A and B are shown apart, each in its own frame.
Chain A
């Protein structure tokens, strides 16, 4: 039952790693040009995990994973899992 070897590093291109996972509040939190390019063409980049090719980072692979705002008082107002499942089962709309 191994746990991966862990260590603390100080840069995005440390040897021995094959992907960079960037935890941000929103894409604007980091300065990678690939993230800015993705955010420019995908307005949803701040709300989902995005995998992109990137130079100068571990493995040439960058995974952007946003937390969303850390200051909001409430989360999503709709029952998101239900809405998603409804669509999966053929629902065209929803009512709450």
Chain B
């Protein structure tokens, strides 16, 4: 390890961050007319800021490593990331969310839904789902950063997790960075350059695009027998249709995360902070390229790491990583790229994780303070602030504790669980809230409860990967899972819970009392 180089890179990075943070802060403080007149944010700054918030260590380290295990089939997730996560999210959901959010004066995602359907229950129940569901996602983001630190600095994972947790706790308690579009944009730029460099280095090292892919195609016979038995057919071919491997790839990894992004509380809120639809239109262009360079490169490189390790060390990635897919990308970057890049990449990942972690903890804090406590007690101010801060602290502690408890190979799965839960619980009512005036309060509540309960029960009693280690089914019913008939033990809850929740929302809405015309008029004011 070159300590001098590491320290110089950290110092330059910190100085640049502080300078840009100060510039961002100063520009918001200085211009009195900022809210009305100074609305022209440079589209590059805006879109890069979006990108840096979208992408965390989970996408690059967690899912990149999963591609090292599953192969290029993960690129289906990139297609959804771009088409659903950027195009549909910005164009179809973003514009209306922004308008309705402003019409209703909503500050959080649960508040938007609660006010749209005139229901306190929707607000606090959604707050509860976020507060109890998000720690898993927050935790895997911490794990992603710690795994990279563990490999790069050659320190124990537990120590790396502790160091990172202290940094993040200090960052959150200090208040996070406000007015940091410039800092975010710098992080986004470094991530973009870093991933582009990674892509070029990987293909150059393996002899070009076609040669690299061909080498990976030719490695199909190296798939371990145990994985082949589950449907793994190689790293440049889809798993056997209907096999365990296929269902996990398609239903959990691709659909869970690809669709769930539409109903992520911290991303929905960002649409409401956008100045105008123009920023959303421009964001589509830059966001599309950015996501391709982030997840597209991470998944392609993750899969190709098998060729690199086979050519240099005579083994496939998952074996090099000792069975832990979460370590594949850190080990690959350390082995295949120059030392200065490894340090730069580590800082980039830490920074990317930091902005995500910070928004996750704040989302959980506001869920408990604003959406739950204020809704129940109708008290605002003093006590609510205290509850929010305690909520943030509890969220940090839970996430760190989970980081120590959770098993290996958890980053992608943990992310997928939370994304899937959000999709099933919120997406039907959110989509109806934006586009269907006929959706009723009872319909939304029925859909919310159905989606949440079905997802939770499916994980506890049917989906083998969670039901068996959790052991609740075994304890209550004396058997590990309720249905053993294939493919149900490997079908992700989203496949069942999302359509049923949609159906329930629509059917109950058609059978129950329509929403008050006055409320609807207020919601849809200015929408043609």
Partners in one complex: no
